[in-house]
Chains A and B, each alone.
Chain A
Amino acid sequence: MLTPDMSVDMRTYLAHVELANPITTAAGCAASGAELAQFFDLARLGALVTRSITMAPRAGRPTPRMAETPSGMLNAVGLQGPGVDAFLELELPRLVERGARAVVSIAGGSVAEYTALARRLADAPGVAAIEVNLSCPNVEDLGRVFARDPAASAEVVAAVRTTMRYDVPVVAKLAPDVADIVAVARACVDGGADALAMINTPLGMSIDVDTMRPSLAAGTGGLSGPAIRPLAVRCLWQVHAALPGVPLVGMGGVLTGRDALELILAGACVVAVGTALFHDPYACLRILRELEDLLKERGFERLADAVGLAHRPPGAGPRHRIDLEESSL
């Protein structure tokens, strides 16, 4: 029997890179780690995923950039950031010094720009993985978002994959508001993605009925928070069912350990926390603790045994319980 004080093996793999635990920050929700480091030791995270880095510095979108919505928020930050040079000089080295595993998110407007970013990051020490933010408008396709087009997504992923060092996994980050997420997922894997992350924010909008104008200066914005969790679960479920061997990073409205477990049961082996960080700087550590307790209560010895478990056929008992009975003989 599993005794209550036994700890669960929380290790997980992002492709071949081992993470001490499955909880990471979500891109764009923890900047480059310096602010969170005031609250806790970043080495306690599975990984810190940076904001999406662009080639040139970017001022982002005009304000207001944020509007709260029921159990969520809309944002139109527009990838404000210092550009890759300043990131490599000032931000990444600090992150590595702090002992964090750094997953670097990149964003571009063309295949060439993603390739150039990958080239700049290829030799940077301390990059545990690259996450390719595909929710960016393709300037060569009238601003159509890469993530909505399987072929364009695959092209970006292939370019980054061939440019990055072979031992740095490339994670393709997908958007949920597409006609067929499995088609985009499959195209990215065929293009060489070692893992997939989902979901980025679906596009939403709110209108202030007092001013009778859109709440955001940009009009539309990305919806995040608990409001989108069912969308994340659905996407993970569909992609895990179609591509069971591909490691998935799940995100979308995770506030508690229970929410993280839901995404894991749908197929995620890593869970990223975004909007919850705005509410609670310690959210990642709390969620990790709650997740470990929930796994323990359910008799799991390893996190890995829970990944995708909801896909087992109806009527089949939870796999781990059978294991337990056998091992206690």
Chain B
Amino acid sequence: MQVTGTVLTTRRVDAYHALTVVAPGIAERFRPGHFVSVAVGGPRTSMPTRRAFSVHDVKPDYGGTVELVFSVRGAGTSWLAERKARDSLDLVGPLGRPFPVPRDPCACVLVGGEYGSASLFSLADTLQQRGCRVDFVLGAASADRVFGALRARRMGETTTLTTEDGSLGLRGRVTDVLPSVIADARADVVYASGPMPMLRGVTAVAVEFDIPVQVSVEESMACGYGVCMTCVLPVLGDDGVTRMVRSCVEGPVFRGERVRFEDIGTIPFDALGAPGGRAQEGGAHTRHVS
């Protein structure tokens, strides 16, 4: 649904900006893993595509608020960083497939990279309410880019932090410490959100331990609700066929082992409808088609 929300508060959290927006309809329907898309640039904007952000927190205040955490990347996030309390913000959401949660209590390791950890705390909350054990592994390039370390320490059975420059926690990457965290927690499942290379690494570790892994991917999106076909990635289906699926509606949460990470940015030759593939007989060339 589309909501014109009002910015309630803005704050800086280390390298990130956080915006809390009153958006009752979205807050009410939110489940961990959902994202929202935000129109940027105001009414006469020259930026026609919405920006996708995962929802960090949902609170019942003022009928329902959502909080977004973001880093400034380009023109859209710069504009967003300039928003002040009482400005209005056009949001669509909640969007996407949320994190599936286990029916019975089990041990879960939650892995977050950079701002990716923002979406893990509401998930941890839900998991703990179901009696699950939650352990955190959070990492980033440097200390100021690790999001939510304090909260993780408060919530998690254990929390392991990594930075590439060693400015916080262990020097290295989340995948360096993940195997020992999984082993110590006797983890049954891994959840991960962060940059694509991290998700690929986390998936490899989970596969090694033969436990399920749910990853929340980040692909460039123009619409966020399934109509533009720009956000696709190759995913193996239950029937063993690889399809180019939309990360905004079939995802952003996928079973990690189903995502063909090594083929992202290509059309695998065995994907359904790949050029020259078996489903393509009589098919058209792909050059310059719009």
Whether B271 is near chain A, meaning CB under 8 Å from some CB there, is yes
Choice from B1, B49, B249, B289 contacting A66 with Cβ under 8 Å = B49
Interface residue tally on A, bucketed by range: 35 or more
Q: Tell me, yes or no, whether B129 is within 8 Å of chain A by CB.
A: no
A72 touches B265 (CB 8 A): no
**Given known A83-B273, A277-B223, A281-B2, contact A63–B284 (CB-CB < 8 A):** no
B204 within 8 A of A: no
Q: Which of B226, B244, B281, B285 contacts A60 (CB 8 A)?
A: B244
Minimal beta-carbon separation of A169 from chain B (angstroms): 23
Contact B226 A68 (CB under 8 A): no
* A137 interface contact, C-beta 8 A: yes
Task: In the complex, identify which listed stretch (B60-68, B78-86, B140-148, B228-236) lies at the interface while the others stay far away.
Answer: B228-236
Q: A29 to B282: give the CA distance in the assembly, Å.
A: 25
Q: CA–CA, A145 to B284, complex, Å?
A: 11
Asked if B92 lies at the interface with its beta carbon under 8 angstroms from chain A, I say yes
Contact A139 B284 (CB under 8 A): yes
Distance in angstroms from B178 CB to nearest chain A CB is 27
Q: How far is the CA of A71 from the CA of B279 in the complex (A)?
A: 37
Interface membership of chain A positions 280-295, coded 1 if the CB is closer than 8 angstroms to chain B and 0 otherwise: 1110000000000000
Q: Is the contact region of chain B dominated by helix, strand, or loop, or is it mixed? A: loop
Minimum CB–CB distance for B81 against chain A, Å:
18
Residues of A within 8 A of B267 (CB): 59-62
Nearest chain B residue, comparing its CB with the CB of A63: B265
CA–CA, A72 and B176, complex, Å: 42
Best-surrounded residue of B243, B266, B280 (most CB of chain A within 10 A) = B280
- Tell me the bound Cα distance from A110 to B272 in angstroms: 21
- Answer whether residue B50 sits at the interface, using C-beta atoms and an 8 A cutoff: yes
**A54 and B220 contact, CB distance less than 8 A:** no
- Cβ contact within 8 Å between A77 and B229: yes
B222 at the interface (CB under 8 A from A): yes
- Residue total for B at the interface (Cβ-Cβ under 8 A): 48
- The answer to whether B48 and A57 touch across the interface, beta carbons within 8 angstroms, is no
Q: Which residues of chain B (175-207) have a CB below 8 Å from chain A? A: none
Q: Is the CB of A35 within 8 A of B226?
A: yes
In the assembled complex, the Cα of A28 lies from the Cα of B287 at a distance in Å of 17
Supply 7 A–B pairs (Cβ within 8 Å), ascending by A: A28-B229, A57-B279, A60-B232, A73-B49, A278-B222, A279-B49, A282-B2
* Residues of A bordering B, CB below 8 Å: 28-31, 34-36, 38-39, 51, 54-66, 68, 70-73, 75-81, 83, 107-110, 113, 116, 135-137, 139, 143, 145, 200-201, 203, 217, 220-222, 225-226, 255, 275-282
List 16 extra interface pairs beyond A62-B266, A201-B290, A278-B222, CB under 8 A.
Answer: A30-B227, A31-B227, A31-B229, A56-B273, A61-B267, A63-B219, A71-B46, A72-B48, A73-B48, A76-B290, A80-B229, A80-B232, A80-B273, A200-B290, A275-B48, A277-B227
